[in-house]
A and B are shown apart, each in its own frame.
Chain A
Amino acid sequence: MSNNSIKLDFVIPGNDLLSAGEASSTVKKMLNQLGILPGIVKRVAIAMYEAELNAVIHAGGGEAHVQIDKDKVVVVVDDKGPGIPDIELAMQAGYSTAPDDIREMGFGAGMGLPNMKRYADELIIDSEVGKGTKVTITVNIS
Chain B
Amino acid sequence: MLRILIIQTYIKILKVKAGLTFVKIREVVKILDACVVTSTENFDDIEINSACGADLMSDVMAYVKENVLLLTGLVSPQVIRTAEMMDIKVVVFVRGKKPGQNIIDLAAEKGICVLTTHHPLYIACGKLYSAGLTGRGVWD
Contacts and interface: CB of A to CB of B under 8 A. Distances in A.
Contact of B56 (A28, A106, A118): A106
A129 interface: no
B85 A106 contact: no
A107 B86 contact: no
Assign chain A's interface to a size class: 20 to 34
A105 B78 contact: yes
Interface in B40-62: 55-59, 61-62
Interface in B74-124: 74, 76-79, 81-82, 84-87, 102
A-side binding surface: helix, strand, loop or mixed?
A: helix
Assign chain B's interface to a size class: 20 to 34
Contacts of B56: 106-107, 109, 111
B58 A107 contact: yes
Interface string A35-56: 0001000100110011000000
A18 B61 CA distance: 18
Contacts of B86: 42, 46
10 contacts: A42-B85, A42-B86, A46-B61, A50-B58, A106-B74, A106-B78, A110-B58, A111-B59, A111-B61, A115-B62
Interface of A: 17-18, 20-21, 24-25, 28, 38, 42, 45-46, 49-50, 105-112, 114-115, 118
